[in-house]
Each structure stands twice: as C-alpha cells, then as structure tokens.
Amino acid sequence: MASNGANQPLLSGFVDSTPQTNNKDAPKRRRLRRCRSAPQTDVAALDINEKDSTHLSESLFGKPRPNFKRVLVYLAAYLGGGSLSFYAVNSQIEGLKTNEILDSIYFCIVTMTTVGYGDLVPNSVVSKLLSCAFVFTGMGLVGMFLSKAADYLVDKQEILLVKALHRYQKVGPTDILKEIETNKVRYKCIIMLVLELVLILVGTIFLVVVEKMSFVDAFYCVCSTITTLGYGDKSFSTTGGRAFGVVWISSSTMTLAQFFLYVAEFNTEKRQKALVNWVLTRKMTHVDLEAADIDEDGVVSAAEFIIYKLKEMGKISQEDIALVMEEFQDLDFDQSGTLSPSDLFLAQDSQTKS
C-alpha cells in the first residue's frame, strides 16, 4: 500500500486522469473536477418564488436562520424590564412627559439606540444607574440579535431584487443564484439604502404632519436621530409622536448601522477581488515555481499550484495548511501518503483506545 501511495499526487481526488478524446492530436491532460464532497448547486428544476426565497437564501449563503423567537424574547424582556424599571422611577426622571407608560417605553428605546435626545433625563442616583445598565444591555442586544435578524431579512429580499432588475430578461433559477452569489454584498447595500431612504421620508413627513415641525426642522430631527447624535432641541413631544418613535427610532438607527456595515464589507470584497485578479493574471516566474514546489521534487503538481495561488490570494495561510496536514498525518495510519477506509478505522480505533 505504501508503494502505491507514494506516487499519488497531493489532493488527487480533484484530478480526473481520463484523457480528452475530442482531438486525437491533443496532448493527454488531466482535467480538474469538482470534489465529490463539495455542495451541489443544481437547482435547474427549482422554481424560485417568494415562498422559496427563504430556503434558497439559507442554502446559498450557508447561514442558519436566526432564532426569531429568541430575539423577540430578549427584546420583550429588555423592553418589559426597562419599561417597568423606568416606570417605577418615573418621578425621578425629568423632562417633557406625555403618558407615563409610553414615556417609559420611549425612554427605553432612546437609551437602547443611544439617541439620547435629552427630552427625558434621569435626575437621581437610582435612575442614573438604571440608565447606565440599560444602555450597555441595549447596545449588546442590538449588536448580537437585532442585526442578525435584519441581515436575514435582507438576504430574503435579494432574490426578489434580482428578479426585478432582470424582469425584461430571460433568466433561470441558476442564473439568479449565480448573480446573487457574485453581487450579494452590493445588493445588500442597495436594499438597506432604499429602506433607509424610505424611513427618512416617512419620519420627515410624520414630524411635519403630527409634530407640526417645519420641513427643515423635521429633516434635521430625522438626521440627528438616525445618526444617534440626538441634539435634543428637536424630538418627539406628543403622545402619538412617541408611539411612532418607539418603532421608527429603533428601525431607522439599526438600518443605517447595517448599511454602513455592508458598505465596509463591500469595500473589503472589492479589495479582495482585485487581489485575486492580480494573482490570477500576473506571470509566473522561476521563483514562484520554487516557492510552489512543496515537496521539492523539481515539478509543481496541480494541487501544489492551487495551494500556492490560494496562499497568494490570502484565502489560506501556512498555519492553515500545517493544521490540515497534521490532521492528515494523524489519519494516515500506515504512513502511505494516502487515506483509505482502513486508515480511518485504525486511526479512530487507536484514538478510542487511547
């Protein structure tokens, strides 16, 4: 077994040694094929519609669906606990008040999103300590759970966006999935930008109509809110305004934060694609061949070439390769340089006994 495995190329499972037969004069070359363990994306028979978009988003991006029940439980616990706490110390909070219960929820949202208008402020030791506790808890809640929920909802709408952009073209399910995979971050930016613009428009109109602000003051209040500046000279001061603000403040601030997160991700992806393009288009030199020759036998195999290029692209590091090779050596029980079912059985049996 050792003699047979010694001449096997590294990652030989990726190589199909069957020669090409279309041209009799063509040299016999090995063709790389998909690894059998790679996930399949054969969805030609799948009809993409709104009902399927959730499933496709999960399978395409490899992200498990967030547990919305858990998100809702944490959010309800935060708002419930915060509202009750601030309601209990309502007399120790000064400022413009409307309804005690609504003011408590409103103050909770303003604290969670770090908007901090200043229209309601704690003026006792207890209320100040409660505010400190709930602002950190609220920031953690937004960062860990609500952003994941927003990310999932955006993924769910990407297929609909691609279909809308290509509504006059004949595109199949496979083309749609390929388009999403190629430009998924760009589509996320577009969706969040559109959503934020809608929220800005809705918030401005509401402040003009309900809070009786001028258009400039309303727009100024919207901008200072979604950026969490919260100057405080303009805010929601009516019962209806604060009821609207409870929903609008949390959604608009989170949407803007997600948008900038996607913009940063998009810029990072652009730099990564530029690096990949440079690696794939630059000419190989003798120095590159020597560096790619892992086993130092004077020639570079397909597997060695792939590993070298992936390292150049920054997709893997020498530490990653060392860890994988360490696992391979542990499983290669007979030290033949290849893995077989007997190797796996013997290696696992040895680990169990030890």
Domain locations in the chain as residue ranges: 66-279, 281-348
Query: Could you tell me the fold of the domain covering 66-279?
Result: Helix Hairpins (1.10.287)
Decide which of 153 and 87 is more confident: 87
pLDDT of residue 4: 45
Whether pLDDT at 238 is above 60: yes
% residues pLDDT > 70 (the chain): 69
Check pLDDT > 50 for residue 203: yes
Q: Is 270 helix (H, G, I), strand (E, B) or coil?
A: helix
**What is the per-residue pLDDT for 204?**
96
Of residues 86 and 347, more confidently modeled:
86
The predicted pLDDT at position 78 comes to 86
User: Residues 37-86: pLDDT tens digits?
Assistant: 444 444 333 344 444 444 444 444 444 444 567 777 888 888 888 889 88
C-beta separation of 231 from 204 below 8 A: no
Q: What is the per-residue DSSP string for 181-228?
A: HHHHHHHHHHHHHHHHHHHHHHHHHHHHHTS---HHHHHHHHHHHHTT
For residue 1, is pLDDT > 50?
Answer: no
Q: Please name the helix (run of DSSP H) or strand (run of DSSP E) that holds residue 241, with its range, or none.
A: helix 239-281
Strand partners, 15: 32
Q: Which of 225, 207, 226, 209 is nearest to 217 (CA)?
A: 207
Tell whether the model's pLDDT for residue 180 goes beyond 90: no
Across the chain, where does the E strand assignment appear?
15-16, 31-32, 93-95, 120-122
pLDDT score of 172 more than 80: no
| CA angle in degrees (0–180, nearest 5) for 85-91-96 | 105
